[in-house]
Amino acid sequence: MNKLQPIYKHIFFSITLAFLASCNQPSFINLTSTNISQNPSGIYTLQTELDIQDRNVNLDSVQVFTVVGGETIKMVQDPINTNLWSCDYKLPQGFDEATYYFQTTYNVVSDTGGFFPRVLKSDLQNFRLENRYVGNLASYRGPVGVEIAVQGRGFTKYDKITIGGEEAQTRYLSENELRFTIPALPSGVDYPVQLIGGPHGALFIGNFRIDESTLAVNPSELEIMTGETETLLFKIDYEAPTGGLPITVKTNIPNSVIMPEAVITQGNVTVNIPVKGGEPGEGKLVISAPGYQGTEVKVRVF
């Protein structure tokens, strides 16, 4: 009888190890950002999702902790999504990053009703404070030429704003505010806006919709004698952005109309363009510009 006892013990422990090995261990999914915006209180929320797939885990026994800076903090379970756990951690003054890991303790129920206590740790995690971030745009739609404010923290005079990948005229007001002018781009489109500069590359701010604006042309009809010159006035509501506003003019009587390229230069709202009469003819000018409603001018050359 005594000789058989060690064999029974060996079989028992083998079955136990096989049972434990067959269980699907819980796993951690870290929901804490690696870059966290700095706040005045110095308190930061750490959050994880504990995925428990093993039906043999006694859910009432599950406890989750964060071990950070030599401190073990008990995490609180979300009342709605019970897989989510979170805790607040006060970062010591003078520090701008922390290394931590999650730990859970729980019991596994055997087929005989016994309990096996288990401890599981996550991999090491890290977060650092981000002193530079973008809060929001003052507006998320507007016409070409309007100036839009960007609020945030950590801005510098070297920062630039791009919209739809095109660099916009950018003004630095303070470390908390930039302003940029909407460039000449087609209207009715949502363009991604990004902050360019700093050690972390481009930061997405949001999407901006360019609304159609009105390009005024005066006069609305032209009568020109061959060899004589009349003037067309182009006017917009806001100052032309960086690079100016190019105006496209097409006509169905190209031999009758002679005129240079039309551009409202940067910072201006008007431009006068001379139109010279060529061969006699009657037709129209079709005028358009990026982000502006097109218009037509009747032309008669005699």
Q: What is the pLDDT of residue 21?
A: 42
Could you count the other beta carbons within 10 Å of the beta carbon of residue 237? Answer: 14
What is the rounded (10 degree) CA torsion for 161, 167, 169, 171? 30
Q: Per-residue confidence at 201, pLDDT binned at 50, 70, 90?
A: low
Q: What does the pLDDT look like over 49-84, one tens digit per residue?
A: 998 887 788 888 999 999 998 899 999 999 999 899
Q: Are 97 and 13 contained in the same domain? A: yes
Q: What average pLDDT is seen over the chain? A: 85
Nearest-angstrom CA–CA distance, 27 and 103: 10
Q: Which of 99, 130, 161 is the last residue of a domain?
A: 130
Instruction: Calculate what percentage of the chain has a pLDDT beyond 90.
Output: 31
The 10s digit of each residue's pLDDT in 141-153 is 989 888 999 988 8
Residues 231 and 205 in one domain: no
pLDDT digits (tens, 9 = 90+) for 18-55: 444 445 678 899 999 888 877 888 899 999 999 888 77
Tokens read off for 52: 């428990």
> In terms of pLDDT, which residue wins out, 12 or 293?
293
Shared-domain flag, residues 241 and 283? yes
Show the domain range for 183.
134-210
Please say whether the beta carbons of 235 and 193 come within 8 A.
no
The answer to whether residues 60 and 151 belong to one domain is no
For the stretch 146-193, pLDDT in tens is: 899 998 888 888 889 999 988 999 999 988 899 999 998 898 889 999
| 225-261 residue pLDDT tens | 898 888 899 998 888 888 888 989 999 989 988 889 8
197 and 251 in one domain? no
Give yes or no: residues 119 and 38 share one domain: yes
Number of domains in the chain: 3
Domain end call among 166, 182, 210: 210
Indicate the residue among 130, 152, 184 that finishes a domain.
130
CATH number of domain containing 262: 2.60.40.10
The answer to whether residues 28 and 85 belong to one domain is: yes
User: Does 81 share its domain with 166?
Assistant: no
Instruction: Report how far apart, in Å, the C-alpha atoms of 257 and of each of 36, 253, 261, 299 are.
Output: 61, 7, 12, 8
Higher confidence at residue 215 or residue 18? Answer: 215
259-275 tens-digit pLDDT: 898 899 888 889 999 98
Helix (H) and strand (E) counts in the chain: 1, 28
In this predicted structure, what is the pLDDT of residue 24? 66
